[in-house]
Structure 1
């Protein structure tokens, strides 16, 4: 791995982490407690956590040319779409089913494209 790839990886992972810490420090104590509670909830990671970490892994796989990392990231991203559709069922049945269908179609398309 050359220096340019290392710089991109440090920026890719470092900027969001540093930005999150800066924003977290500016919040009130109540808002910080809410964030701590949501980070302790395992269902948070199925939706937002998988989406953000999956996107970072997708780009990490692209930068390092390691397809396994990219596949894991795309899988996490599609799982977060499906779980987001499940959560959306409470608000709107049509939108929830649409989002879950879209995630299944995306998973199938990705599977057939790479295999």
Structure 2
């Protein structure tokens, strides 16, 4: 795993050890995980996949190659975010999941209503 911390004064990234993310939780980080996926972590601790062609932090774009020390990005066969991410779902998949959650929620409301009517 590789981790880079963004220095807003220099507008540049520095390679850091993982402990830095615990010590400075308000910084922006770029993380290349053990699968080779590139994630951006914002100052609130939220992580999302980096764009396939660049890394964007605070509205600034950086060349993705600087976060590829093992030169694996050129071997990728897809520009889609990692499968492990919800961001890779199609709009149809998301709509289907939302409908399933709506049905599950309605089912649970009905069960609770029935239970409360027997009390």
TM-score (norm 2): 0.24
Which of the two has higher C-alpha Rg?
Answer: 2
TM-score (norm 1): 0.24
Bigger relative CO (Cα 8 Å, ≥ 6 apart): 1
Task: Judging by fraction of residues, say which structure has more helix.
Answer: 1
